[in-house]
Chains A and B, each alone.
Chain A
């Protein structure tokens, strides 16, 4: 049995690897497959035997179980999918052995997993203690005060391959490479992420700076920062309110339902973008029968335009394929003799919300990617550079401003790695192609976002397909009249049936219906 396995395992693993893994990880496991530069984070280089998600101590080799877990579950937040539904048990366990042949480190002994006890029960005090240690061990240096990956060291982070790497946004646990259960987070804190800036904190327990329980508290606190992965709903409902929220951070927004719209890279027309920063936008909407107000909330660790993030932008742009045009031209840089462009040249953050120019009667809508020559779309553009405008889109590269007075009210704030934006407009505006927001009808809506500090602008940004905005109608009386009628009619019918039945049963004689 063993001899047989030894004779066959490696070739079997190789066939599976070559077919399913080599496209990203490369024939020789060096993380340099043909797709490698079309994603960030890039595929793992197995020749170094540096595996991020392990149960063994910082820097150590992973156990077979660790490698299998990565293959089975994939790496959320990256391009690595989980394979347990696609490859058989044998194929996956063979792969584990085959991956190990890429590095001679696996001739060394793999140490046993780091040992630790179970998690203490979650409590308010425990979470407060977790926060206390989040500050003490300075998690915020990279992950930020609110955990959104916007700490002061975040723009400079590089992995062992000198590639730019994001400090995890702790409020989006579903993107954690190793999962976001308390146990998974605790394991990351104990063992670190090999090859990445995330260190191990295990020595702090040995040094008696903190107890294991206190490190568990940090894990519980981190877990508490993230909600469950939001459900995606096709229709964003704009509540009918007496008074519209006046400002972007008006507490009235807390009463209004939030809808999550996931965004992904624009990989449809050239130049494409495979490394967007914004992976989703929360949308809230309200109207007061006169105006509609839309509030967009999204996480972006950089407040663009940002000189602090300029080096990050250059690094991202330099590693992403296909080669992209940089907004700050090299010639210009050379002319000024300075690699650091003026702050004024830095790219802003931007968001565009797109609607059809009229509410479609049938199924047909304009092309979701900013319209086309045949049918334009109506765009509301906001940029942290200061411009807010209405525009008409006939394709991503054919956007023209709608002339006339500014009718759009906008306000944005940025704090702790989060951008919040309020856009408001009258439901009805004069002029062609300016969408009239009607209540009670689904209005096609799409969202696009750009992070200037990540080198995003133009076609290179994050996009969504069509969703719908639905402005609530005032509840009409008829909504109550019909049910009342139904109750009444059914009741009368019931009385009639009962009365007749009883007449039949108790004889036709007078007084028999006195029941």
Chain B
């Protein structure tokens, strides 16, 4: 116990401990801890791990060199490992292990890798100001859902439900969560409509544009060549599309972004 305490009070071992804890947090904490409280997460890429660790190391060095006495104590074990006669074994081991580690890291960096090329994809690219729908020009800016004007919402919902179940279900799923029974066949995966991240951030005219023009109508930053979203103007009428939009918002329990919000300071 006493020796552990002694180590814990020593700046060198404190620094080592901080480095180890930081590494564990970045490598395992970030991907695995948030899901425990229901937040999704992903592993940190190796290059970012390295950046984080360098930052931590810099912080530690600043801290240990900040005070003469601490700096001296910090250096003491390193110095001992370098010169003490009774630490010869450790010294030799380190002088073998460190070069080998450097070699391995270098090999990892230069060997043949077979990763797919990075695909940077904008999920909500900027919409055009107007589109041509079956030969008719539709101005998207300021456009609302014509079926949301009066008391026809229930009817639009019913039509939209039929349209959704006969066309959208295989990919976007029963629960509108982007995991239909065909979703696993597509990269990128189909969009979920639930939650605050997708259609809740969009105006209905944006959604109309996405449905009508589908994957092939995406601008370049939306990687149109990858998207399995059909251009629904070939299959559905404008009323059917507006109806399915009503259905999407109702069923997902979210509201469309209004044009007042859209023109506000928040960029889209």
Using CB atoms and an 8 Å cutoff, list the residues of chain A in contact with chain B: 19-20, 23-24, 33-35, 38-39, 78-79, 81, 83, 85-86, 232, 234-235, 237, 262-265, 267-270, 274, 321, 363-369, 372, 375, 440, 442, 463-468, 470, 472-473, 475, 478-480, 482-491, 494-495, 497-498, 501-502, 504-506, 515
Question: Which residues of chain B in 41-83 are interfacial with respect to chain A, using CB atoms and an 8 Å cutoff?
Answer: 79, 82-83
Q: List 23 A-B contacts (CB under 8 A).
A: A20-B174, A38-B166, A81-B181, A85-B175, A232-B184, A263-B185, A264-B181, A265-B182, A267-B170, A267-B171, A268-B229, A268-B230, A363-B223, A472-B114, A475-B111, A483-B104, A483-B106, A490-B102, A491-B95, A501-B82, A506-B83, A515-B83, A515-B85
Could you say which residues of chain B place their CB within 8 Å of the CB of A475? 111-112
Q: How far is the CB of A239 from chain B (nearest CB, A)?
A: 11
Contact of A34 among B119, B165, B181, B220 (CB under 8 A): B165
B226, A365: Cβ atoms under 8 Å? Answer: yes
State how many residues of chain B have any CB contact under 8 Å with chain A: 62
New contact pairs (15) apart from A24-B174, A498-B95, A505-B82, CB-CB < 8 Å: A23-B169, A34-B162, A81-B173, A81-B174, A81-B175, A81-B179, A232-B184, A264-B182, A363-B118, A442-B117, A468-B116, A482-B110, A486-B102, A494-B95, A515-B85
Q: Select from chain A the residue with minimum beta-carbon distance to B107.
A: A483
Could you say which residues of chain B place their CB within 8 Å of the CB of A483? 103-104, 106-107, 110
Could you say which residues of chain A place their CB within 8 Å of the CB of B109? 482
User: Is B177 interfacial (CB-CB < 8 Å)?
Assistant: yes
A86/B175 contact (C-beta < 8 A), A38-B165, A484-B103 known:
yes
Q: Select from chain A the residue with minimum beta-carbon distance to B184.
A: A262
B220, A494: Cβ atoms under 8 Å? Answer: no
A479, B184: Cβ atoms under 8 Å? Answer: no
User: Is B120 interfacial (CB-CB < 8 Å)?
Assistant: yes
User: Is B235 interfacial (CB-CB < 8 Å)?
Assistant: yes
Could you say which residues of chain A place their CB within 8 Å of the CB of B173? 81
Interface contacts (Cβ under 8 Å), in number, total 173
Could you say which residues of chain B place their CB within 8 Å of the CB of A235? 114-116
A81→B173 CA distance, assembly (Å): 8
Could you say which residues of chain B place their CB within 8 Å of the CB of A366? 225
Q: How far is the CB of A202 from chain B (nearest CB, A)?
A: 31
Could you say which residues of chain A place their CB within 8 Å of the CB of B166? 34-35, 38, 321
A365, B225: Cβ atoms under 8 Å? Answer: yes
Could you say which residues of chain B place their CB within 8 Å of the CB of A467? 187
Could you say which residues of chain A place their CB within 8 Å of the CB of B225? 364-368, 375, 466
Could you say which residues of chain A place their CB within 8 Å of the CB of B82? 497-498, 501-502, 505
Interface centre among B103, B171, B184, B224, by most A CB within 10 Å? B103
User: Is B267 interfacial (CB-CB < 8 Å)?
Assistant: no
A480→B229 CA distance, assembly (Å): 46
Could you say which residues of chain A place their CB within 8 Å of the CB of B216? 367, 372
B224, A367: Cβ atoms under 8 Å? Answer: yes
Could you say which residues of chain A place their CB within 8 Å of the CB of B99? 486-488, 490-491, 494
A495→B82 CA distance, assembly (Å): 10
A140→B104 CA distance, assembly (Å): 53
A143→B169 CA distance, assembly (Å): 30
A262→B173 CA distance, assembly (Å): 18
Interface centre among B79, B85, B107, B120, by most A CB within 10 Å? B107
A470, B169: Cβ atoms under 8 Å? Answer: no
Q: How far is the CB of A19 from chain B (nearest CB, A)?
A: 7
A83/B187 contact (C-beta < 8 A), A38-B166, A268-B228, A497-B82 known:
no
User: Is B88 interfacial (CB-CB < 8 Å)?
Assistant: yes
A49→B114 CA distance, assembly (Å): 52
Question: Which residues of chain B in 171-224 are interfacial with respect to chain A, using CB atoms and an 8 Å cutoff?
Answer: 171, 173-175, 177, 179-182, 184-187, 215-216, 220, 223-224
Contact of A270 among B102, B114, B220, B235 (CB under 8 A): B235
A473→B228 CA distance, assembly (Å): 32
Contact of B165 among A23, A364, A470, A515 (CB under 8 A): A23
